[in-house]
A and B are shown apart, each in its own frame.
Chain A
């Protein structure tokens, strides 16, 4: 919402030495967020009043004239101009070099420079209203007409800035509408002015809320008092469609609306000033001379002011005459029944519609009008009185000849003032300091509360404009007091420390250790991908979507499925990065979802099943190396993260894994995840070429963290161990596990070194190199003992593994 400082000053006398920056700051700190400050005079720089001293013919162009103009500088200036109404001795609007104007009122502003026009020097430009943002204030009668202040009867001085002449030297505070959403009373300058009066402890110029008395009634029926709490109708005769006075057009323009004609402008001005929407009907179009507020029939039609043809339903409230709907209640007028050029008498509606219905109807027709914006916040019914009173005052001012011939105030529901008690003790405790009673009362009274203090309790009546839901409990009053004093003025209160117990959260620690292990020890980069995932990658990973959860309104049609595995996101990430990097490692820790029943907090709330997964991949060229690298990462994980050990079995192939190269990860006897090479089909369906990847996925809920670190200490061997290397020749089918299990009980330590296949190795065989350590517990091994031990080991290998020494 745009707040005009000029309009504000009608309701509160802001001291001259109070800068608008300070006002914006204080409003932001205490009431609403001011997002920007705009000085409306800025675009009028170098646009001034000039007096035409002489008009001469242009030697080379019939349509142009040469004018000698006084622009308030030392010497007179020559300006070439094609205006149709150039008159010697008249004051006009001159753009000097440096000014920015809009050619013929269209396109981007153009910089004015001294130039020559058809061979004659021209200092600047004598402008028409459309060229210098004045069309709304001084509407031109023909295209070539220039702004003639003398003809317009505007008082001004040569050299004076035109913004000042037209009243467009205003400061606009742009308020964030979101910060106003809970304060319906601030949707007008009057409300903001009241806040400023309270902040600066200034007098507030209250408006009259007097209504006409002793007039005949205009027939009004409200059939839906729940939807329309109040409807006032005033019949005003002997009016006409004419321009508003300049002061009103200026204020309407400054606040961001466009002047139309005096009848419409009065309603808009009232809306901007007090936030009370109004509508003027041409009274000759109200058939049967009566107004009925009712719900539309299903299928009923209404043509709006903006030519939009609505098909109404029974949830839409309409203002009707005896025959037809005239207006979409509280949102927008109908085309045929609003003010027309010929209008000479109007029915002025000033009504209160309730928020929920307005919100539904606005959303249904996507009509976010200024009126709807205000009604959907919830307006107190009393505000209509302010609106009627102000509007009638303006009618009498602008149309001294008008007659008010009928008035009705149909008022079925009245906003009741919220009655709230708040104790001094509560305030002291929550504010953290003791404020004097007089200060609390002063703040509340300035904000419109009625306050009585009795025996430690403030008995408060909130003003009606705060009683539509905004203020309802004593905490709301606390908030009003705190913000008006200013949060920055409260002493900082240190937090008390509580030494009952230490914070010990094994699960939270595990989640962090897992990530740190992968990132810092294994060189993985952590990624985040969205929970909704492109179906292409879900299909590539071969994931069954029968149990998947879907979004009702997904970000895009192909993004409707919420993930049940992190692998599709891993595939997408590989696809995104493999052209930039030859090899890389990534991981993601996130929740996945599938249909099922899960009750995290209460019996009544049943959510889908959530699993906390940790997935990752190593990407590169050499598939076996990638696989063993990932396997090594998983093997090291339990030790670093201090959870029960992991091992591998081959039981359930994950859908994304290679036919041969995959394993399940176990802890205890429970399978909690898998590792494997990513299958050829998953890679190719993901568009990944000439690159391999090995991946893992673990359900981290399955990991069983120890309560503390578990690395254990073993005494160092008393006697030296002997290291021996062996190079074995075995059948291709012989696994390391078989070799290891065959001799592990005979040695102190056993390590795999490498596998080798090559020229020297017969077909169907492979060479396995290992290194082992042997030793005695009670003495140093003698060479005889070593020989004997090794012979034993080799014999076992030969028997159990058919291994020969190479």
Chain B
């Protein structure tokens, strides 16, 4: 009897070990421990044995039963550990299922990066409307009465107003600066604010010139600010936008609404200042004019130039984005061509 049990145990162990999946294992479990199993038969026959033998056979039978339970459990765990949800093969190199890939326009992306940077410095965001008047676009900004920018060769005047003057002569704004006086009239000083937007010039277009393009202007008005703070601000902003320190230089420039005015160049990021095609071999790229707000502009905003001063910074967004991505044609920004726009995630 004991020998038979030992044989059952041995055969059972082999059978459990050979089980290839959970289904087989379940069948084997029934075979080994079910009502009709050899083990059960042995247990059923215990009654007919003499007490001493019954005891030792009974012990052995229970031992085999426990053994089976243990081995089946082990096998079960092993099978689960090695199991796959799938039966067949799955090509893991197939592409994933696409999520909708939308994107902000690269100009908007840059604009928001700048907004974040300026907001961190406590600037407000303001926007002027697209249509303005000669009064706000030129008169308030100290443009000479016969400044060429006022001509229809430069500015898009609205039909029916082109021969009028001042408040009555309306245009698509040729720059953002007019908005600065609007803001100051509304909010007074001190002020620090940015006013991004699109501006319009009557130009012949090519890869570097557009009729509609984007600017980002910032103005600080306060008492006792020195123009050299302007450079700190610009370096801070560019560092935030490009994620690393960008060298800038300030040089002489002239704009009717500033005195003194300056041009701010940034080191060409493509060549690191060595000179390349993108920077016309200069190593520097003119990114933003700026300057101290002209006393006449402060007067137009009802502010006393003896009390207040401040400085402008005007960033050409198109050029900055072209620099960021190496885009070589400014007209792509208004192309609405998705082959272009889908590249900017």
Contact = CB atoms under 8 A, between A and B. Distances in A.
A524 interface: yes
Interface in A589-618: 590-591, 593, 598, 600-602, 604-608, 610
Interface string B95-131: 0000111111101100010010001011111011111
Q: Which of B121, B132, B235, B253 counts the most A-chain CB atoms under 10 A from its CB?
A: B253
A694 B195 CA distance: 33
B194 to A, nearest CB: 10
B341 A525 contact: yes
A733 interface: no
Nearest to A504: B124
Given A473-B259, A487-B262, A606-B167, A524 B102 contact: yes
A531 B172 contact: yes
Interface in A345-377: 355-356, 359-360, 363
A490 B229 CA distance: 10
Interface stretch (A510-518, A665-673, A745-753): A510-518
A591 B129 contact: yes
A480 B252 CA distance: 9
A593 B122 CA distance: 32
B295 A607 contact: no
Q: In the complex, which of the residues A363, A482, A495 has the most CB atoms of chain B within 10 Å of its own CB atom?
A: A495
B263 interface: yes
B336 A492 contact: no
A482 B291 CA distance: 12
Given A432-B228, A492-B231, A515 B108 contact: yes
Interface in A20-77: 28-33, 35
Q: How large is the interface on B (under 10, 10 to 19, 20 to 34, 35 or more residues)?
A: 35 or more
A681 interface: no
Contacts of B156: 551-554
B338 interface: yes
Nearest to B145: A356
Contact of B122 (A497, A553, A580): A497
B127 to A, nearest CB: 8
B333 A503 contact: no
B186 interface: yes
A359 B252 contact: no
Contacts of B263: 33
Interface in A538-586: 549-555, 560, 562, 569, 572-573, 576-577, 580-581, 584-586
Nearest to B260: A479
Given A503-B124, A531-B200, A593 B135 contact: no
Interface string B155-196: 011111110000110101000000001100110001010000
A552 B157 contact: yes
Given A430-B292, A601-B182, A31 B334 contact: no
Contacts, number: 237
B104 A516 contact: yes
Given A473-B295, A516-B104, A531-B172, A493 B251 contact: no
A424 interface: no
A522 B103 CA distance: 10
A214 interface: no
Nearest to B228: A490
Nearest to B159: A550
B233 A495 contact: yes
A527 interface: yes
A109 interface: no
Contacts of A605: 133, 135-136, 167
Contact of B226 (A356, A488, A493): A493
A607 B131 contact: yes
Contact of A475 (B172, B251, B295, B338): B295
B338 A531 contact: no
B72 interface: no
A543 B338 CA distance: 26
B12 interface: no
Nearest to B223: A429
B167 A526 contact: no
A519 B157 CA distance: 34
B294 interface: yes
Contacts of A469: 144
A744 B211 CA distance: 55
Contacts of B86: none
Contacts of B250: 487-488
A526 B228 contact: no
Contact of A482 (B185, B229, B260, B339): B260
B94 interface: no
A478 interface: yes
Contact of B159 (A429, A498, A512, A552): A552
B14 interface: no
A488 B292 contact: no
A432 B227 contact: yes
B116 to A, nearest CB: 10
A750 to B, nearest CB: 27
A505 B102 contact: no
Nearest to A471: B259
B249 interface: yes
Interface string B260-290: 1111000000000000000010000000000
B259 A551 contact: no
A222 interface: no
A476 B130 contact: no
Contact of B338 (A493, A522, A584): A584
A519 B262 contact: no
Contacts of A490: 226-228
B253 A475 contact: no
B206 interface: no
A628 interface: no
Nearest to A577: B338
B133 to A, nearest CB: 5
B193 to A, nearest CB: 9
Contacts of A478: 259-260, 292
A523 interface: yes
Interface of A: 28-33, 35, 179, 181-183, 355-356, 359-360, 363, 429-432, 469, 473, 475-476, 478-480, 482-483, 487-488, 490-498, 503, 505, 508, 512, 515-516, 518-531, 549-555, 560, 562, 569, 572-573, 576-577, 580-581, 584-586, 590-591, 593, 598, 600-602, 604-608, 610
23 contacts: A28-B251, A29-B249, A359-B148, A432-B228, A469-B144, A473-B295, A483-B260, A487-B227, A487-B250, A487-B262, A490-B226, A508-B127, A512-B112, A515-B108, A519-B103, A525-B103, A529-B334, A549-B158, A576-B337, A593-B130, A601-B181, A605-B136, A605-B167
Given A492-B232, A527-B336, 19 more contacts: A29-B251, A32-B252, A482-B227, A483-B260, A487-B231, A490-B226, A497-B121, A503-B124, A528-B198, A552-B157, A553-B152, A553-B162, A562-B158, A562-B172, A576-B336, A591-B129, A600-B182, A601-B186, A606-B168
